[in-house]
Structure 1
């Protein structure tokens, strides 16, 4: 017998999820929550959503809470999505750091890895002498499930079908035998990227030196304005003076207080 999620139980999960990851679930998302969590309840043999809530919110529930956050995470992304940012990286950012040949970039919601690997491919394409550069790309996400997939760097053929053939040939290894129909990011690209679980709601991040660029695209649409403002404060703190913030095309900082300088749609700079 399938459990029913009551309105009271939905409110409990809604508050917990907002507290943990800053995502506010409105009433229409109740059906989504049922579809994501129902299977997990059956796997654990739990009779109700209340019992599952007690499991994730009680003592020793940290591991199951991580699984809950994995289940409710949205992971839509593509290679070379919103290309204006990669053009800006190539045409504006790289000339500015040419003298030091050092570049630190954070893909703060990297999902299954398409964004950070696209950054690495862009750098390989733009820098013939890339071996002489000190490049660090930190790729993070709240979901351990998608981070594991991203770190493996293996994609089904349909995930790369929209890419030009020369890009696939240069940056991917084609699977054979049991791996037929799959493509793996080449080691020289993958080695530029370090994957790590980071919760953007944490008060501080495990980042020791100032960043040149932060990608935070198509994330803030899930946050309310107070949460967005707090996140912008933290991003500002971790960028070097002159560093850049890239956000998604459906997003804007127009309605929140922040210290960034607007350069063009979706691109901001720390003065």
Structure 2
């Protein structure tokens, strides 16, 4: 039996897909495999419809000729932003039990902790970091969390700090009461992160493939479920750029499906997807 290709609202060809994924790769470094053909169609159809086009070829032409106005919309549509509070919880446990005690000794003179959540998506990771640090660092210490992402839409969600109530069902009741406010009335099915957490975090758009306007060292960096999208050469390049922003002995946390194995970087594996900058 021969299967008929499903009817599409807009004309969409392999050539269109190849143009779009090439543009995505050139800008973001992200590799787009062949099996994302249908995903690109479903993610971008809304833009094609909104702009009044009848084909993806028209959209490709528009994107190339109007990068200033359309490129952010394009990247926002095709990037994936799956996350949750305390995802890969062993990282946060290691942070509170091992990393923080070390930092309390190391940074005792200035009482400051500075960290980076690279690829922060809708904010669950940096807020989880903020909760962990507030619970394990003395009140008179300064905590600064830089949270960056390529996608401006998810950054807006992160900065607002408002989430559907089902997003926090896995958080312990005591922690939930301490760090979240329950919505009332029309907002009864939502929760809001308390201001004392939000004030620790600065949300910024950043393309990891471009210049990083960052100063000084971070005490540790979370870059989880980001490297998986890049080729081997780009992974090594990013890891070494992270390494340059960490002092010897500082930590890099990556995602459960990622590895720096056999890459020439300045890191040593010390735990489950936990790396430490090697000492000379």
- Do Structure 1 and Structure 2 share a fold, with TM-score over 0.5? yes
Q: TM-score with structure 1 length normalisation?
A: 0.94
Contact 2:11 2:54 in 1 (8 A): no
Q: Return the offset for 1:219.
A: 1.3
Cross-structure match for 1:253: 260
1:147 to 143, 155, 163: 155
| SS of residue in 2 equivalent to 1:217 | coil
Q: After the TM superposition, which segments of 4 or more aligned residues of structure 1 sit over 6 Å from their partners?
A: none
Cross-structure match for 2:5: none
Q: Return the offset for 1:244.
A: 0.8
Cross-structure match for 2:172: 164
Mapped partners of 1:236, 1:56: distance in 2:
35
Cross-structure match for 1:201: 209
Q: Return the offset for 1:184.
A: 0.3
Mapped partners of 2:21, 2:204: distance in 1:
26
2:117 to 103, 107, 125: 107
Cross-structure match for 1:270: 277
Cross-structure match for 1:5: 12
Matched, 1:29 2:33: no
Cross-structure match for 1:81: 87
Mapped partners of 1:61, 1:48: distance in 2:
18
Mapped partners of 2:272, 2:166: distance in 1:
30
Mapped partners of 1:263, 1:189: distance in 2:
29
Cross-structure match for 2:146: 138
Moved more, 221-230 or 208-217: 221-230
Structure 1, unpaired ranges of 5+: none
Deviations 1:146-168 (A, max 9, x none): 00000000010110111111111
Give the number of aligned pairs: 267
Deviations 1:6-51 (A, max 9, x none): 1111111111111111111111111100001112101010232122
Q: Return the offset for 1:97.
A: 2.1
RMSD in angstroms over aligned alpha carbons? 1.3
Structure 2, unpaired ranges of 5+: 1-7
Mapped partners of 2:257, 2:85: distance in 1:
18
1:178 to 168, 186, 200: 186
